[in-house]
Amino acid sequence: MPTPSCPAQNPGSTSLVLDPADGVVLLDDSFTADPYPLYELLRTQRPVTRARMPLGPSFWLVTRYEDVRAGLTDPRLVKDAGRLAEVIRRASGIPEDAASADMALHDHMLNSDPPRHTRLRKLVNKAFTGRAIGQLRPRIEALATELTEAMAARLAAGEQAVDLVEDYAFPLPMTVICEILGVPEGRRREFGSWSHTILSAASPEQHAAASAAMGEYLNQLVADKLANPGADILSAILAPDEDADRLTHVEATAMASLLLVAGHETTVNLIGSGVLALLRNPGQLARLRADPALLPGAVEEFLRLESPVNVATMRFAAEPVTIGGTTIPAGEVVLLGIGSANRDPELFERPGELDLDRARGGSLAFGHGIHHCLGAALARLEGEIAFRVLLERFPTLTLAVDPSELSWHNSILLRGLARLPVRADG
């Protein structure tokens, strides 16, 4: 699953890099490699600021916890799939004739507000009950065991290291979500590649090609499930509800795209970043090994420390909105910095440290309000199982490279390791 990545950076002092033409904060490779020094600076100096990636238009970035949390429920900051698709098209340089594929994939409930969001969420919620998620536990445990045994066999055969992202963190949630959606095993690796390309700083041509390929396949998958429904969750989502309401074909395709991407990308990042945090904190790792009852709280701490979603998906100011003393004009794109909020010292003591005893609550890793992550329970379950099985199978797990050699995906939206080489005895 090759994607652009940025070398890890050592934490340290940083400074604002401004575009001399308009004073906009430039988010360069050092930001995607390690955003936290800049976040710390912005929270104190420019908590609400215009920013931009090296390519694309500027947007407003909000970094303080209080402002981010309030922004997640502010009705003046709206979700609009049509405007989102146009922003993506312009930012990526995608031709207008290729924009329809993007629109088909992005026109889902995460990019909608009430009343449409209410209707779409209701139609999907029926398939994501606590009972339905709980029934996945045996399958997730079996997959985690299968993957760890495969890694152990390779190490026992003489391989110096395995890539925990490629060999464990990626295939575990990808297999689960593809089974949920009824995606055949032979197509799952393609989905991972398409998803990474769509969410990364890929070229316009790569982005358009991945969107078109994913859209074409999901469109056919939905048609197949409508004609021949099965026992999978996608078939359940497509079925009419008690009021005889159901997703249209276009809505179903977009929903399948959302579930596929959100259903594995965030959990991949949770597992990879969490394992790295433990390996860099041997005292905390030893405590977790000795007391597995700490696992639920540990997962919450991993989610806070390295939020898999770095910034919340795009919102637009429907009218002039004042946040943190700064007025954002109507029609402007607003990004809410979840990764920054989750390290705000105003709420979290020693926010850059891994603390398995930290009181739970407050983290915005799964969002807040009506757009709170639908799959949060599934991600937590996958995380708890993934860490438990991995630590039980590999009591001597260590990094196989210096931390400075690690790289992170080149994405402002997500925060995740591109690879994590590890070694273990037996």
**Beta pairing class for 333-336 and 59-62:** parallel
pLDDT band at 130 (very low <50, low <70, confident <90, very high): confident
Structure confidence by residue, pLDDT tens digits, 133-170: 899 999 999 999 999 999 999 999 999 999 999 999 99
Looking at per-residue pLDDT, the higher value among 316 and 96 belongs to: 316
Tell the residue number behind the tokens 């390295």, with chain if given. 306
Strand order in the sheet with 25-26: 25-26, 48-52, 59-62, 333-336, 315-317, 77-78
In angstroms, how far is CA 394 from the centroid of its own chain?
26
Structure confidence by residue, pLDDT tens digits, 32-54: 889 999 999 999 999 999 998 87
Rounded Cα distance between 145 and 290, Å, is 20
Q: What is the mean pLDDT of residues 106-129?
A: 87
Q: What is the pTM of this model?
A: 0.89
Q: Quote the mean pLDDT of the chain.
A: 87
Tell the residue number behind the tokens 């295939």, with chain if given. 171
What's the confidence (pLDDT) of residue 379? Answer: 94
Q: Which of 234-248, 347-361, 369-383 has the lowest mean pLDDT?
A: 234-248
